[in-house]
Amino acid sequence: MLTHLRSALKYLLQRDIPSRRHDVWPDDIFLVSFPKSGNTWTRFLIGNLMNPDKSVGFGNIERLVPDIAACPRGDFRKLGRPRVIKSHECFDPRYRRVIYIVRDPRDVAVSLYHYAKKVKNIDDSLPLEVFVKRMFVPGRSYNGTWGEHVGSWLVNPSNIAEFNSRNSDARPRSAGSVDMKTEGLGAQGHERNFFLVRYEDLLQNTSAWLQRIAEFCGLNATTERIERAVERSSADSMRKLESSQNLQWVTTRETRKDINFVREAKSGQWRTALSEISIAQIESGWGHLMNLVGYKRALIE
């Protein structure tokens, strides 16, 4: 009874967390990804770009680029427009403007493993190989598996045949930094604007990709402003902010402090972290999607 009263009061005061029930406005820009794919870093890049005169940190990121799973409903309505909003949701037809970040699922597995320890979801003794197996269990995660999440956002009428062919031997798309061709991917149609960003490309040429993100968002950003946002959002800067502000951010407040949320911020860690069994499992399960976004398989051809 008391729990219901508290929930009702939160709703009346608009202090409830909306998650998938949040109001969507036509000019909203959604920053979407599967967990541990670079979303937080991109939030900082955009937050620093949009607020050059503010000190962007973990203490105020929810007010600048809010998360639908962390920001109270009333706070969303106070934001200036257009709103840039973080989401880990699978495909939502209401999202009209979407920046979708995709990351190599082998690196996602490693990052998610350490994050699961940080939030106390798994014990330190659980082997990484066992954790990877759990990533394929349907219904285990609210966000679905990596393949379900990525597939929900990247499938469209023009490439549905490739998605249907799990053992597709289509050659990986080129991944030549800024010139990677992704026009055929994404939740296109119905007046939806979709911009695909690979985490690895953002790492390789952050300034160029942030410029493209700025253009997608309709932001007039000078080279100097871009470079400053990149510098203020570096992994070193974010780690220092996390160290001093981890109790201020809802995501890290109740988590272990001996494990960083901001870790290596690199690509290719899977090569030394994952066993051959785990690599094979990921590539055999999601290789058809990896092909579409240019991730070359190491074992399964």
* Phi, psi (rounded to 5 degrees) for 157: -55, -30
> What global pTM score does this model have?
0.88
Note the pLDDT of residue 299. Answer: 83
Q: Is the peptide bond before 82 cis (omega within 30 degrees of 0)?
A: yes
Query: What amino acid is encoded at 156 in this protein?
Result: N
% helix, strand, coil for the chain, step of 5: 45, 10, 50
Q: Residues 219-231: pLDDT tens digits?
A: 989 999 999 999 9
Give the gyration radius of the chain's Cα atoms. Answer: 19
Tell me which residue of 301, 239, 294 sits closest to 103, measured CA to CA.
Answer: 294
Q: Which residues contact 163 (CB under 8 A, 6 or more apart)?
A: 151, 154, 155, 288, 289, 292
Q: Residues 68-107: pLDDT tens digits?
A: 887 777 677 777 788 999 999 999 989 999 999 999 999 9
Q: Residues 102-158: pLDDT tens digits?
A: 999 999 999 999 999 999 999 999 999 999 999 987 767 778 899 999 999 988 766
Tokens 């069994």 found at: 277
264 band by pLDDT with thresholds 50, 70 and 90: confident
Helices 206-217 and 223-232, axial angle in degrees (round to 10): 110
Spatial distance between the Cα atoms of 58 and 225, rounded to a whole number of angstroms: 21
CB burial of residue 90 (10 Å; 0-12, 13-18, 19+): middle
For the chain, domains (ranges, CATH) are 2-292 (3.40.50.300)
176 band by pLDDT with thresholds 50, 70 and 90: very low
Query: Average pLDDT of the chain?
Result: 85
* Biggest CA-to-CA distance, the chain: 58
Note the pLDDT of residue 4. Answer: 55
